[in-house]
Amino acid sequence: MAATLTRERFAGPEWVFERKLDGIRLIAFKDGTDVRLYSRNQLPLNASYPGVVEAVAALPLHEVVLDGEALGVWRAQGQVGYHVFDLLWLEGRDLRALPLDARHAELSALPLAAPLFHVPRLEEPEPWQRACREGWEGVIAKRRDSPYESRRSRSWLKMKCEAGQELVVGGFSEPQGKRVGIGALLVGYFEDEDFVFAGKVGTGLDTRLALTLRERLDALELPAPPFTRGHALPRLGIHWVRPELVVQVGFMEWTGHDKLRHPRLIGVREDKRAREVRRERA
CB-based burial, 135-171: b 16+ in 10 Å, e otherwise? ebbbbbbbbeebbbeeeebebbbbbbbbbbbbbbbbb
Question: CB of 38 within 8 A of CB of 61?
Answer: no
The string of pLDDT tens digits covering residues 19-50 is 999 889 999 999 999 999 999 888 999 999 99
- Looking at residue 94, its pLDDT comes to 98
Q: Which of 51-60, 145-154, 156-165, 184-193 has the lowest mean pLDDT?
A: 156-165
Burial zone of 192 (CB within 10 Å; 0-12 exposed, 13-18 middle, 19+ buried): exposed
Other C-beta atoms closer than 10 Å to the C-beta of 207 total 12
* pTM for this model (two decimals): 0.70
Predicted local distance difference test score (pLDDT) of residue 78: 54
Task: Give the chain's mean pLDDT.
Answer: 93
Residue 20 catalytic? yes
Q: Is residue 77 exposed (0-12), middle (13-18) or buried (19+ Cβ within 10 Å)?
A: exposed
Over residues 61-73, the mean pLDDT reads: 92
Can you tell me the distance from the alpha carbon of 5 to that of 112, in angstroms, rounded to the nearest whole number?
30
Whole-angstrom CA distances from 169 to 150, 176, 272, 275 are 28, 19, 13, 12
DSSP letter (8 states) at residue 107: H
3-state SS class at 100? helix
Q: 241-261 pLDDT, tens per residue?
A: 999 999 999 888 899 889 998
Mean pLDDT of 90-98: 98
Can you give the pLDDT at residue 271? 85
Average pLDDT over residues 43-63: 96
Question: What does 206-230 look like in DSSP terms, one character per residue?
Answer: -HHHHHHHHHHHHTTEESS----B-
Closest to 88 (Cα-Cα) out of 97, 80, 76, 79: 97
Residue 116 has pLDDT above 60, yes or no: yes
Which residues 6+ apart lie within 8 Å of 134 measured at CB? none
Name 228's Cβ contacts closer than 8 Å, sequence gap at least 6. 193, 194, 195, 196
Query: Which percentage of the chain shows pLDDT scores above 90?
Result: 77
Q: Which helix (H) or strand (E) holds 110?
A: none
Backbone angles phi, psi at 18, to 5 degrees: -135, 155
List of domains in the chain: 1-21+122-161 (3.30.1490.70), 22-118 (3.30.470.30), 164-276 (2.40.50.140)
Res 76 pLDDT > 70: no
State the amino acid at position 194 in one-letter form: D
Chain centre distance of CA 213: 19
Q: Look at 85-89, 152-156, 258-262 and tell me which has the smallest mean pLDDT.
A: 258-262
**Catalytic one among 20, 142, 200, 272?**
20
